[in-house]
Amino acid sequence: SLLSAPIRAAHHVLTTNKRPPPAPAAKASTAMSGQSSGCGFLTSVVVHGDSALSEQEKELGRRLRRLYPAVDERETPLPRSWSPKDKFSYIGLSQNNLRVHYKGHGKTPKDAASVRATHPIPAACGVYYFEVKIVSKGRDGYMGIGLSAQGVNMNRLPGWDKHSYGYHGDDGHSFCSSGTGQPYGPTFTTGDVIGCCVNLINNTCFYTKNGHSLGIAFTDLPPNLYPTVGLQTPGEVVDANFGQHPFVFDIEDYMREWRTKIQAQIISRGQGLKVGNNSSPFSPDRMVASYLVHHGYCATAEAFARSTDQAVHEELASIKNRQKIQKLVLSGRMGEAIETTQQLYPTLLERNPNLLFMLKVRQFIEMVNGTDSEVRCLGGRSPKSQDSYPGSPNPSPSHSASIHSLASPAKPSGSHSYLPGFDSSCSNGVAPGRPHPSAHCPKQLPSTPSNAELNTINSVRSQQANACTSGDIDMEVDHYSNGVSGSSSNGFLNGSSKHDIELEDCDADMDPALPRRQLCGGSQAAIERMIHFGRELQSMSEHLRRECGKNAANKKMLKDAFSLLAYSDPWSSPVGYQLDSIQREPVCSTLNSAILETHNLPKQPPLALAVGQASQCLSVMARSGIGSCAFASVDDYLH
């Protein structure tokens, strides 16, 4: 019944992959009005059938993400409209709670009325901006535009009370928590667009009129202010733009200035960090060294340690073992990787059945891919190629690309996820940017028919990835000169040369011909082997469940893997991403970390820890109202 399972799974995948149906309007608006509702960010003000509006919503989402990339809306939703709950009764809202009109008597200042936005301005915006267009100045044009804290009396214009700030149209004065205004700017009236910008880095605010900055109005602003407007006489109508439309004022230019300022500050602070002081594990030298060791770049690590006078905290042999296993994983040789791990670290996988399961699932995927050696043998290819290229295999994508994979934002910052995906950036032989002397760098050429055939089972991406192989060659050459290596071509102390040679074969696939992608490389025997393996995996999963209880992650992993079989061309299927060689990287790093742990070495290198700490620090800053976090994204520094 194995074959039926993936089909079910496929259905499941297909349905979950669809966009969730849009929330009904009624539900949406309740969510909007709920001030404390933490999930308001996802709700929309879509009215049934109005596609133009949902387009506007989409644009709003896009613009807000672009303006405030550092804001985590699950934690701190951005204001998207006025709140129907947080307003005085003389205020009427329409047009999806963006238009405000006055519906009181407007006889005395006691008839003033205000409305706040649905959410306060998150500090992680760094710089926040909204605009209000005066649709009509009404009888006297007593419009006030500004900011106020939660709970400030709404029967007033913004600016009159403590924690309330406003700029008034009738006299152009600014009101800073006081009933008497200060001369500030020009008056404003029907047709004018007034903008309000809050700088959460220096806690100031300035206004704009028709796109012209009017200068600082308020300083020392408290945190968590809401966009607020107030009206006082009949006929006054204003429209808000929280990002629904392009702004009249070029706020992005202003943000650029502040981003540059913050980044210049960071760089000037960083210059104080002198390379050479190695007393702390977080000194730059030691961070670099431990990073290299962690990922098994032994020659580089050695050279670096030599030149910076450090000791390497792990035996070279051990580093090379790990490196070897990593290479197997990254080239898709899962079966051999598991075997080698069991040989070198006999108790590791026994004690860690979930890890073993993960490796096996990956092996299954590689079988589908046609890269695992078990199916490759069955594919009728000669496992031992006669031409041994000295080049070492490395199908992982280039280093910088893999570092960027951790740029994936919005990872939940749980206790152990300091480093979303950081470990995936492993296993390139050489640190990026190092110039490679090319004397020992024979290009890998597809000179044999068997190699040409091999191409067919490799995805295009892994071919491209081979472009960085030359770097690794240098490294291997270093091994020879270090005299550590045995006689095998790749210099692995414990490696079986047979495997090594195979590895080279499979990676000597620089043929630019388009790969012919077939299930398990197209061999019937291989398919049977794969199906058999799948059954084993199924029973292993059941066994695991009995032994260790349910495990949602494992279940999903297996389902996703099996789903591959539901498609005639798994590579272009919705679950096809699993076949991508980049998916080997998390597996590789998990295995690497597990091995390191058995040696009482840190699961993560201090460098990764530091990066994680920096990211975490930024989210703490966001929560503590320190706006400069908006312009200090860690990703900007991981080139």
Return the number of the residue (41 or 129) whose C-beta is nearest other proteins: 129
* Dihedral (Cα; 207, 212, 214, 219), 10-degree rounding: 40
Return the number of the residue (10 or 67) whose C-beta is nearest other proteins: 67
- Rounded to a whole number of angstroms, the minimum distance from the CB of residue 254 to other proteins is 6
- Rounded to a whole number of angstroms, the minimum distance from the CB of residue 240 to other proteins is 22
Interatomic CA distance for residues 228 and 551, integer angstroms: 48
**624 token code pair:** 């503590």
Return the number of the residue (253 or 309) whose C-beta is nearest other proteins: 253
Return the number of the residue (216 or 317) whose C-beta is nearest other proteins: 216
Return the number of the residue (186 or 437) whose C-beta is nearest other proteins: 186
- Rounded to a whole number of angstroms, the minimum distance from the CB of residue 212 to other proteins is 5
- Rounded to a whole number of angstroms, the minimum distance from the CB of residue 202 to other proteins is 12
Q: Strand 144-149 relative to strand 173-176: parallel, antiparallel, unpaired?
A: unpaired
Interatomic CA distance for residues 63 and 68, integer angstroms: 8
Q: Where are the alpha helices (DSSP H) in 271-314?
A: 284-294, 298-308
Return the number of the residue (250 or 528) whose C-beta is nearest other proteins: 250
Return the number of the residue (247 or 345) whose C-beta is nearest other proteins: 247
- Rounded to a whole number of angstroms, the minimum distance from the CB of residue 259 to other proteins is 7
| Alpha-carbon dihedral sign for residues 181, 183, 187, 193 | negative
- Rounded to a whole number of angstroms, the minimum distance from the CB of residue 615 to other proteins is 24
Burial 219-248 (b: 16+ CB within 10 A, else e): eebeebbbbbbbbbbbbbbbbbbbbbeebb
Residue 469 burial (C-beta neighbours within 10 Å; 0-12, 13-18, 19+): buried
- Rounded to a whole number of angstroms, the minimum distance from the CB of residue 186 to other proteins is 5
* Residues paired with 145 in a beta bridge: 167, 229
Q: For residue 375, count other CB atoms closer than 10 A to its CB.
A: 27
**112 token code pair:** 């003033």
* Residues paired with 148 in a beta bridge: 164, 226
Closest CA to 297 of 154, 174, 478, 461: 478
- Rounded to a whole number of angstroms, the minimum distance from the CB of residue 173 to other proteins is 14
Return the number of the residue (249 or 357) whose C-beta is nearest other proteins: 249
Interatomic CA distance for residues 231 and 104, integer angstroms: 9
Binding site for other proteins (CB under 8 A): 185-186, 206, 209, 211-216, 250, 253-254, 256-257, 259-260
Q: Which helix (H) or strand (E) holds 94?
A: strand 91-94
Return the number of the residue (260 or 438) whose C-beta is nearest other proteins: 260
Contact in structure between 209 and 134 (CB atoms under 8 Å): no
Residue for token digits 């006054």? 236
- Rounded to a whole number of angstroms, the minimum distance from the CB of residue 607 to other proteins is 29
